[in-house]
Amino acid sequence: MVDENEFFRQATLRISGGLDIEAAMARCMDYLKRFMPVSGMLFGLYEPELNVGRMLASVWLSRLPKPAETIAFPSEFWGWIKQRWAREPQVRIINDVAAEDPIRRRIFSKIFPEGMSHLIMDIALESKRIGVLELCAEGRDQYRQRHADLFALLHDPFAIAFSNILQHREVLRLTDMLADDNRYLRRQMAAMTGDTIIGADFGLRSVMAMVQQVAPLDSPVLLMGETGTGKEVIANAIHFSSARKDHPYIRVNCGAIPENLVDSELFGHEKGAFTGAIARKRGRFERAHTGTIFLDEVGELPPAAQVRLLRVLQQREIERVGGTDVIPVDVRIISATHRNLEAMVRDGKFREDLWFRLNVFPIMIPPLRQRIDDIPALVSHFIELKSKELKMGSLPSVPQGELERLQQHDWPGNVRELENVVERAMIQSQTGRNRGVLVFQGLAGPAGEPPMTNGGRSDLPLAPLDEMIAAHIRKALVQTGGKVEGEKGAARLLGLHPSTLRGRMKKLGIPYGRRSK
């Protein structure tokens, strides 16, 4: 006689002892051998849409080769199995496969040798069939009804255990997919920003030197500069040059978040913390743990969020909105603003202690009008980039005169404005008489003056343009004592590359160097 309660308890303890399903099955099979003949055990899953069976876990017979994990079934199997699911008992005894119908014989021949006995139990959870569990024993006529009755007692613990295993495997699969997606996105972002900073050797040379100094550290960095100067590109370069480059990189535009949602977005919230908080939510700082968070337009943060941000910087911990648990975070903070934070501190609009914390390593990014030598390289970069977006078969050309016009523009919108100007010119270059040639129309003059309109005086005498340019260059040479390049040279004063200035002087007949003496 078997104590069914004790049998159920001991078998359940063994099958529920861990997430390693095959180890749990081995423990359970050793226990079942005390009550019935068992040589092997397998858990299989049938996928009707593919008409295949998958052996998800097994304790296989040591003397037999293990079959393939995926087994293709006969085309008529799905209709056959649906009929039997409706009328066959939960546990089936098959003591002689040769006596079964042809379809079942074909399936068993793919897995087992002849002359074996089988106990087969359908596994279902909440009326949903999730697979089949099978015991096998060597030799015919090994199983009796008492064995089937004992085996049936274990349906629920096996169903729960197998359901947990399937969910665990799905979590692992999705985790691997997410990790692979993150690696791909990091490679894409690094390819777009890490090695393509235009002007790193010219107008941004001093900025990149500071980036190389601070990137290996965990110190906060404050990026300052006008809108459109490329603060986000520099932030990307700092992250991807740091030891945190393989960890999360979270970007937040503080000015784009409604004031009543800033705390929830940055620090997360607990379920029920406010109307609409139907579940717990991790904030951006939690998502950036072990990595970097980039706070763009940090000057737009409301006072309450400034207090919470100060706590993160001082104590490296946060609390979710509506929660009481303290959550430690290891995050490197890069912030950026186009506003004068020091003036905001004086006006009481920004916390002084927070400004001191953020301003550990400030980097000022110069506007485009102070780095006009970078414009040709930027134009070339944008032409290549936009030609792919616009699906242009060939790259348009840029006349030298048009580049000079770009270098004389004031660029109040900086690099972003230049990008838009290039894209507009590329769209216009696809039709008309200037097909394939970029013409940049509607640009203001060097001092931001609008182009001449029909309302301007047209009756005034005009000097030839070359004469005006030559006079302007001579004036610059007088102010610099004839020096062309260097910190106090005419090229720096005029905002030109020294070689560009020499080329124009040669063209206009203005002597320089030994010839000037």
Same domain, 333 and 385: no
Highest mean pLDDT among 208-222, 257-271, 435-449, 496-510: 208-222
Residue that terminates a domain, selected from 366, 381, 400: 366
Task: Look at the chain and report how many structural domains it folds into.
Answer: 4
Q: Longest Cα pair distance anywhere in the chain, in angstroms?
A: 122
> Looking at the structure, do residues 350 and 386 belong to the same domain, yes or no?
no
Whether 251 and 232 have beta carbons less than 8 Å apart is answered as yes
Q: In 241-360, at which residue ranges do the beta strands (DSSP E only) sit?
A: 249-253, 292-296, 317-318, 327-328, 332-337
Give residues with Cβ within 8 angstroms of 8, minimum separation 6.
Answer: 153, 154, 157
Q: Residue 196 pLDDT > 80, yes or no?
A: no
- 155 and 290 in one domain? no
218 domain-assigned: yes
Percentage of residues in the chain with pLDDT exceeding 90?
28
Distance CA 50, CA 69 (A): 14
User: Could you tell me the CA-to-CA distances from 217 to 56, 159, 162, 221, 375 in Å, in that order?
Assistant: 47, 52, 47, 10, 32
d(CA 479, CA 316): 54
* CA proximity to 341, closest of 304, 308, 302, 298: 298
Q: Which two three-digit tokens encode residue 285?
A: 């700082």
| Residue tagged 């910087």 (tokens) | 313
pLDDT the model gives residue 447 = 40
The answer on 392 and 310 residing in a single domain is no
334 bridge partner residues:
221, 294
Q: Is residue 81 part of a domain?
A: yes
- Measured CA to CA, the distance from residue 360 to residue 357 in angstroms comes to 6
- Whether 362 and 215 map to the same domain: the answer is yes
Any domain includes 325: yes
Within this chain, do residues 251 and 338 fall inside the same structural domain, yes or no? yes
Same domain, 393 and 351: no
444 inside domain: no
3-state secondary structure 168-190: HHHHHHHHHHHHHHHHHHHHHHH
**CA contacts within 13 A on the Cβ side of 232:** 13
Of 8-17, 134-143, 446-455, least confident by mean pLDDT is 446-455
Q: How would you classify the pairing of strands 327-328 and 317-318?
A: antiparallel
Q: Does residue 358 share a domain with residue 213?
A: yes
Q: Is residue 177 part of a domain?
A: no
Out of 230-239, 382-391, 489-498, give the one with best mean pLDDT. 230-239
Residue from 254, 253, 236 nearest 245 by CA = 236
3-state secondary structure of 463: coil
pLDDT, position 281: 86
Residue 460 lies in a domain: no
Residues 201 and 349 in one domain: yes
The number of angstroms, rounded, from the C-alpha of 238 to the middle of its chain's C-alpha atoms is: 17
Cβ partners under 8 Å of residue 204, min gap 6: 197, 198, 365, 366, 371, 374
Instruction: Assign residue 105 the CATH number of its domain.
Output: 3.30.450.40
Structure confidence by residue, pLDDT tens digits, 436-460: 888 887 675 444 444 444 444 444 4
Supply the pTM of this predicted model: 0.58
pLDDT digits (tens, 9 = 90+) for 143-166: 999 999 999 999 888 888 888 877
Boundary-marking domain end, from 168, 183, 211: 168
Same domain as 39, residue 144:
yes
> Do 424 and 293 fall into the same domain?
no
183 within domain boundaries: no
* Domain boundaries, position 149: 4-168
Q: Do the domain assignments include residue 415?
A: yes
User: Domain end: 319, 340, 366, which one?
Assistant: 366
What pLDDT does residue 477 have?
83
Q: What are phi and psi of 121, to 5 degrees?
A: -120, 125
Closest C-alpha to 438, from 391, 388, 500, 376: 376
Tokens of 86: 């409706």
- Are residues 206 and 79 both part of a single domain? no
